Structure 1
Amino acid sequence: MAVLLLATAVLYLWKLGESGWANAFYSAAAQAGSLSWKALFFGSSDAANAITVDKTPAALWVMSLSARLFGVSAWSILVPQALMGVGSVALLYATVRRTSGPAAGLLAGAVLALTPAAALMFRFNNPDALLVLLLIAGAYCVVRALENASPRWLVLAGVTVGFGFLAKMLQAFLVLPAFGLAYLIAAPTSARRRLLHLSGALTATIVASGWYLAVVALWPADDRPYIGGSQRNSLWELAFGYNGFGRITGDEVGSVGGGGNGGWGGTGWDRLFGTEMAGGIAWLLPAAVVALAAGLWFTRHAPRTDRGRAALILWGGWFVTTAVVFSYMSGIIHAYYTIALAPAIAALVGIAGAQLWRARGNPAAAGTLSAGIGLTALTAYLLLSRHSTWLPGLAIAILVAGLLFAILVFVASRLPDAVRRLVAVGALVTVLAGTGAYTVATAATPHSGALPSAGPDTGHGMGPGGDGIVIGGAGGPVGRGGAGGGLLGTSLPGENLAALLRKDSANHTWTAATVGSNNAAGYQLGSGAPVLAVGGFNGTDPAPTLEQFQEYVRSGRIHYFLGDGMMMRGETGSDAAQRIADWVAENYPPTTVDGVTVYDLSR
């Protein structure tokens, strides 16, 4: 395990700073949190607390505290994410080991570490890193609870999932059916006690997730920032609407997609094998399906309390529920969301791989393991063939080696011990070769902007299968100089504009205002002074209103308005940002600094 964790740390930390601010939207909020405790608590985009990010702020609490301790930098923001990755691998090993032995735990940990979507997110500053760590911690607590029907461990599982909600809202709850079903079926106590324990755990989940919503709802609205992503300044609306059931139905007021499928791709069982998502997660997805089916079949006659089958129910339920939701949800979905599948896939492959190898004398077990190896090699071949110019020859090498080792594994019980060990090592290397190569390529590629993709560099800091959006300006993934980055990217201000924004910034609440949080983030990170993100992330939040903005200007609270890079794509939501931009353009003369249109609101 020590070797595995050391290798994972190297993979996730090596040249981490090359991604710069990564997702500048969250980096700017971490900067704000390092300066203001109120901004930290609410997850504000700026230290003056105009508006929050469009998520609950648990992930920002970690980044902001790190920035307070070590200063605001790319490293202080990104290193905690990488350490969460190492912690996730360690926790997954510990969880799988308790039910299936150390070999299964090591294999599961290795698969998680070598999943491209995991390497992408554990080297990035989106909320997904904390979410995954907390959900694996929840699974560990459920496994401990199953050992002796412990209500305390089960309540602790509910608490970890509740805090997962504070990282990424309702997505955290996708594991609850699996956790509950595993305990309901396998806990070694009476049915009445099982239901009672589950009720207590559910209450703990509600309390751990709901306390923050209650505090925000009870806090006077004029004494806190506007809740970004909502149309009525409501965290409840954000949690259960735009970031909640709206993601399922596609009915997300203020979304850039505007409802229906919203341009987020077709739904269906094959969505996870689509070009953009497949590179991040699909390498061992078919093997996980085989592993779950085989595991449940071979344990069908086991006692109700069998912990091995309970583990399959836990991880299999996590896998199936999350995969179905991701495959059929009609609202906003991005390829990197698939990191939520990685722990379940890794655990299923680790558990089944170790158990089937131990049972290789049984032709059915040997045949199933052989089929899983061959299927994984074929999957890797198909995925690598989509990018034939990258590492040419690897696809066919994995396919040939996979078919060879599939045959050798089938007859492994008849081979000498030394040869059998070589076959096991060769099969393991072959199974992990495709996903491992893609993961290393992902880690070697700097990523920034709102939509990072797994895979090798294609020239814009995004892997193959990306959506073609160029993130940033002329200076790289997070460019320096020129107009704002727009809806999904960020550009830092040039030297002249940064100096202008810093000048007299102490005399104003916000040194500038601009439409959209990514635009504001770049100017704020470049100048170190608060910038008001008009309209929130999409520019479609009614914050501030035109009347509020005019009052801010009259009282001298905003110095400049930066008018370039405005992107308001939503078909629904407020038009307040557009009205503000029009009012400024009609009443103030523009100047150009470093390619950015600047309106001096103090004149």
Structure 2
Amino acid sequence: MTILAPPHRKQSPPPGREGVRRAAPPDPRWARPALWAVLVLAAALYTWNLTSLSGNSFYDAAVYSGTKSWKAFFFGALDAGSFITVDKPPFALWVMGLSARLFGYGTWQLVLPMAAAGVGSVALLHRMVKRDFGPVAATVAALALALTPITVAINRDTNPDPILVLLMLLGAAALLKAVRTGRLLPLVWSAVAIGFAFNTKMMQAYVVLPVFFGVYLWAAQTSLGRRIRNLAVGTLALVVSSAWWMVVVDLIPAAERPYIGGSTDNTVWDLVIGYNGFGRIFGASSSVGAQGNGASFGGSAGLYRMFNDIMGGQISWLIPFAAVALVAGLVLRGRAPRTDAQRAGLLLWGGWFVLHYLTFSLAEGTFHPYYVTAMAPGIAALAGAGGVMLYRAFREGSVRWSWVLPAAVAGSAVWAVVLLERVSGTLYSVAEAVIAVAGALAVTGLLVGRFLKRRRLMGVAALAAVVALLAGPTAYAVSAVGSSPNGTNPTAGPGTGGMGGGPGGGGGQRPSASGMKGAPATSSAPTASPRSAGTRPTGGGMGGDTQVSSEMITYLKKHQDGATWLLAVATDQTAASVILESGEPVISMGGWSGSDDAMTLAKLKTLVKEGKLHYIVVGDSGQGSNAEITAWVKKHGTAVKSSAYGSTSASASTSTSTPTSSGLYRLDPSDVS
């Protein structure tokens, strides 16, 4: 249907004729100012009150350690002594680490690259949508992405997801260029971008791969044989760019590198297929990388998950409209040539959305709400591109299309009201009223304008529809900016139940430090010490319930006696907070959950004998090697009473002359037989 072709763009020429392509007409005068306005809005949302943000202390500690040691930097080690890595590959840590090395370690130095990645994603999505669907679609898509609540929240944090999204979009941009031109090189660059995304969050980067392969194989402007050959070369580039860090690390002898946190056999390969692979999808039912059910973070697994009380306000606002736009757009392009650029774009963004929706909805392993920020570009692109296609079909198509756009707007507006009815607060009440009024004006104006053939009225009604669709996300986005963030599990809007509640308006309960990565610190960014974190429990396993207080840290630093590591504790979250307060390397013996076999008795004896470790926290609990270590430390170590460091916490140790079975112990080379 000719009514759907962007008036200012022409289809790409066949391969080999790019040089004679006629220049596209200039954009409307409003297009560039509108883009800059969206980018300024995104930058303001992502960087407002930047120095007050705390970030995820689990990753913050790894970045800090990387500024002290290039070895820790390369491996993504939690501690500067490189005893154990975090449970993700290090590319995002490298980005933040370079910023910290350039500008100094602090809050804004770590968050700024993430905010920049978020703004870059908005700009890149605009460019991609504009190429095939025009400036109106591009502006709506960019605005929708910038205002997606969970995207605003995560771009103000130090989790790796903003880098992941930007890299995936770079891969998509190169892929669409490869589709338009049929050339190999853009496809290779697409594979490289996804490879870097893999080195940011491993298997999550591969969610889009099926649609990437499918779109290129179907729509690329070259012969079938050449498409297959190019995909084979691209796959090779993908494997190399994804696996190089993993291969290098696994080839290094275990004694010369950190333990791979989250793995069961101290290899990155096991981390890929287990903890960060099948374990995320199948949870406790998986034979590898079992993690248990993640319902406490994002609700129970199922097709309704994206619409539940926890997730609905984070991502679902535009899902009904995007779904209608995808189906309608594909129908409208049904008779277009195989290489039609608009249909290729719809297939890409539709596949992006659907694959992420199914993956996140059905995943039974650990699931955090902020994961779904990776789905936002697909939804936003469909809202912009599909919305423009629906509007043109409504305005110039047959009578049967006159009901699709009004119905899609009405349905999405009703869903937005349902979401806002779940929460309370003046901001959300105002947004609900705006949606009701703008939605009613949009639907009425569209139908009356169509019946009376008043195009200006239809245009005004379309603007009202945009207001109705984006008012709800805007309210949640503003709330994310104006409140103290949960750096561990960032969400936007008010708490709505479970552990997925955001910081915006009270409500939901935040998970304890033992259930989530990196309990946020309580004071400012580092000066001499990276961050003060008060009193932190060591978690289970070898650490028992002993608390590491600020007084204990002061004592440990005074009596470190040249040891490489200040202390050994049970889990990553405790080690991270102590690293950020003390500025010294701290050993996490059991990784994130306390169940990693990072520390063995033989390794502990070696560290003590070489004078690299003097202090360890152990408790009553533990099994296997943990129990063996605990028994040995209690037999050969010297219990440090709380009176030695002036602690007033009864649970930190004991103030009596009889040491308890849980607490801080000193080990010296003479203790090793």
TM-score (norm 2): 0.82
In structure 2, C-alpha distance between the alignment counterparts of 1:39 and 1:132, rounded to whole Å: 25
Deviation at residue 45 of structure 1 after TM alignment: 0.3
**Preserved CA contact (<8 Å) 1:163 1:208:** yes
1:401 is matched with which residue?
Answer: 438
In structure 2, C-alpha distance between the alignment counterparts of 1:307 and 1:474, rounded to whole Å: 49
CA root-mean-square deviation: 2.9
1:571 is matched with which residue?
Answer: none
In structure 2, C-alpha distance between the alignment counterparts of 1:189 and 1:538, rounded to whole Å: 50
**Preserved CA contact (<8 Å) 2:91 2:199:** yes
Equivalent in 205, 216, 220 of residue 187 of structure 1: 220
Which amino acid letter does the alignment assign opposite residue 482 of structure 1? Answer: T
Equivalent in 350, 361, 364 of residue 396 of structure 2: 361
In structure 1, C-alpha distance between the alignment counterparts of 2:417 and 2:382, rounded to whole Å: 22
1:439 equivalent in alignment to 2:477 = yes
Deviation at residue 575 of structure 1 after TM alignment: 4.8
Equivalent in 495, 499, 503 of residue 462 of structure 1: 503
Which amino acid letter does the alignment assign opposite residue 473 of structure 2? Answer: T
1:341 is matched with which residue?
Answer: 375
In structure 2, C-alpha distance between the alignment counterparts of 1:278 and 1:177, rounded to whole Å: 26
2:279 is matched with which residue?
Answer: 246
Deviation at residue 457 of structure 1 after TM alignment: 6.9
2:304 is matched with which residue?
Answer: 270
1:601 equivalent in alignment to 2:656 = no
Unaligned runs of 5+ in 2: 1-34, 514-518, 525-530, 541-545, 654-662, 669-673
2:340 is matched with which residue?
Answer: 306
1:152 is matched with which residue?
Answer: 185
1:376 is matched with which residue?
Answer: 412
Deviation at residue 272 of structure 1 after TM alignment: 1.1
Which amino acid letter does the alignment assign opposite residue 42 of structure 1? Answer: F
Deviation at residue 291 of structure 1 after TM alignment: 1.0
Deviation at residue 379 of structure 1 after TM alignment: 1.4
Deviation at residue 255 of structure 1 after TM alignment: 6.5
Structure-2 change in CA distance of 1:188 and 1:411 (3 Å): farther
Deviation at residue 159 of structure 1 after TM alignment: 0.7
Deviation at residue 476 of structure 1 after TM alignment: 7.8
Deviation at residue 482 of structure 1 after TM alignment: 2.2
In structure 2, C-alpha distance between the alignment counterparts of 1:378 and 1:289, rounded to whole Å: 15
**Preserved CA contact (<8 Å) 1:291 1:349:** yes
In structure 2, C-alpha distance between the alignment counterparts of 1:435 and 1:473, rounded to whole Å: 26
**Preserved CA contact (<8 Å) 2:492 2:502:** no
1:103 is matched with which residue?
Answer: 136
Deviation at residue 174 of structure 1 after TM alignment: 0.8
In structure 2, C-alpha distance between the alignment counterparts of 1:50 and 1:511, rounded to whole Å: 12
Deviation at residue 366 of structure 1 after TM alignment: 3.9
Task: Compare CA radii of gyration and give the structure with the larger one.
Answer: 2
How much identity, in percent, do the aligned residues show?
40
2:148 is matched with which residue?
Answer: 115
In structure 1, C-alpha distance between the alignment counterparts of 2:114 and 2:230, rounded to whole Å: 33
Q: Name the SS of the counterpart of 2:511 in structure 1.
A: coil
1:482 equivalent in alignment to 2:535 = yes
Deviation at residue 26 of structure 1 after TM alignment: 0.2
1:541 equivalent in alignment to 2:596 = yes
TM-score (norm 1): 0.91
Equivalent in 42, 61, 64 of residue 31 of structure 1: 64
In structure 2, C-alpha distance between the alignment counterparts of 1:218 and 1:399, rounded to whole Å: 61
**Preserved CA contact (<8 Å) 1:58 1:163:** yes
In structure 2, C-alpha distance between the alignment counterparts of 1:3 and 1:155, rounded to whole Å: 33
Deviation at residue 205 of structure 1 after TM alignment: 0.8
Deviation at residue 398 of structure 1 after TM alignment: 1.5
In structure 2, C-alpha distance between the alignment counterparts of 1:430 and 1:470, rounded to whole Å: 37
Q: Name the SS of the counterpart of 1:507 in structure 2.
A: coil
Structure-2 change in CA distance of 1:594 and 1:416 (3 Å): farther
1:511 equivalent in alignment to 2:549 = no
**Preserved CA contact (<8 Å) 1:316 1:344:** yes
1:521 equivalent in alignment to 2:576 = yes
In structure 2, C-alpha distance between the alignment counterparts of 1:323 and 1:537, rounded to whole Å: 27
Instruction: Compare 210-219 and 496-505 and name the one that shifted more.
Output: 496-505
Which amino acid letter does the alignment assign opposite residue 503 of structure 2? Answer: M
Structure-2 change in CA distance of 1:6 and 1:563 (3 Å): farther
1:14 equivalent in alignment to 2:48 = yes
In structure 2, C-alpha distance between the alignment counterparts of 1:110 and 1:69, rounded to whole Å: 32
Alignment: residue pair count: 593
**Preserved CA contact (<8 Å) 1:377 1:402:** yes
Structure-2 change in CA distance of 1:558 and 1:366 (3 Å): farther
In structure 1, C-alpha distance between the alignment counterparts of 2:270 and 2:509, rounded to whole Å: 29
In structure 2, C-alpha distance between the alignment counterparts of 1:70 and 1:580, rounded to whole Å: 41
Structure-2 change in CA distance of 1:93 and 1:439 (3 Å): same
Deviation at residue 364 of structure 1 after TM alignment: 3.9
In structure 1, C-alpha distance between the alignment counterparts of 2:144 and 2:552, rounded to whole Å: 46
**Preserved CA contact (<8 Å) 2:568 2:615:** yes
> Deviation string for 1:480-521 (max 9, x for gaps)?
32233758xxx9976534433433547111011111111111
Instruction: Compare 302-311 and 355-364 and name the one that shifted more.
Output: 355-364
Structure-2 change in CA distance of 1:461 and 1:481 (3 Å): farther
Structure-2 change in CA distance of 1:533 and 1:234 (3 Å): same
**Preserved CA contact (<8 Å) 1:480 1:492:** no
